[in-house]
Amino acid sequence: MLNLNFNYQFIKYINVPISGQWGFQTPNTFYMLSVLEFHALVMFYCTIVFICVSSFLFEIWFLFRASKYPQPTRRKIKDNYKLEHWFMRIPLFIVGLLIIPSWALLYASNEPKDCHCILKAIGSQ
């Protein structure tokens, strides 16, 4: 009978994906390293936005729970121009912070490479 219990310790010395691997492989080019750094930056901003939105939702849930206001009342809500202003400015600021590195990645991907051979693969499913 064939013994299939191999020792896979050698895989950590070569750069191949393994089953159950988390994250990306080690990048071989500067462009891929830049893509990984941009991914980390976007995930950082997404985490901050998630924490802020979750805290606002929890605060709204805590302040306006049914035990505090058993009977809903019709309150007059006035326009809050400062809230509307910052509601638009904060997302614009976040998107503005993400535009600069994404443009740099976009233009870095269009750099001509010194290639000796170009291979075009065409396939269909």
For 42-66, the pLDDT digits (tens) are 888 889 989 988 988 888 788 777 6
The single-letter DSSP state of residue 15 is T
**Range 100-115 average pLDDT:** 79
> Can you give the pLDDT at residue 25?
73
> Which one, of 41, 12, 15, lies nearest residue 28 by Cα?
15
107-117 b/e (C-beta count within 10 Å ≥ 16 → b):
eeeeeeeeeee
> Can you give the pLDDT at residue 51?
93
User: pTM (2 decimals)?
Assistant: 0.59
Domain ranges of the chain: 26-67+82-109
Residue 97 makes CB contacts below 8 A (sequence gap 6+) with: 45
Residue 36, Cβ density class (10 Å: 0-12 exposed, 13-18 middle, ≥19 buried) = middle
Give CA 94 to chain center in angstroms. Answer: 13
For 75-101, the pLDDT digits (tens) are 655 667 787 788 788 888 888 888 988
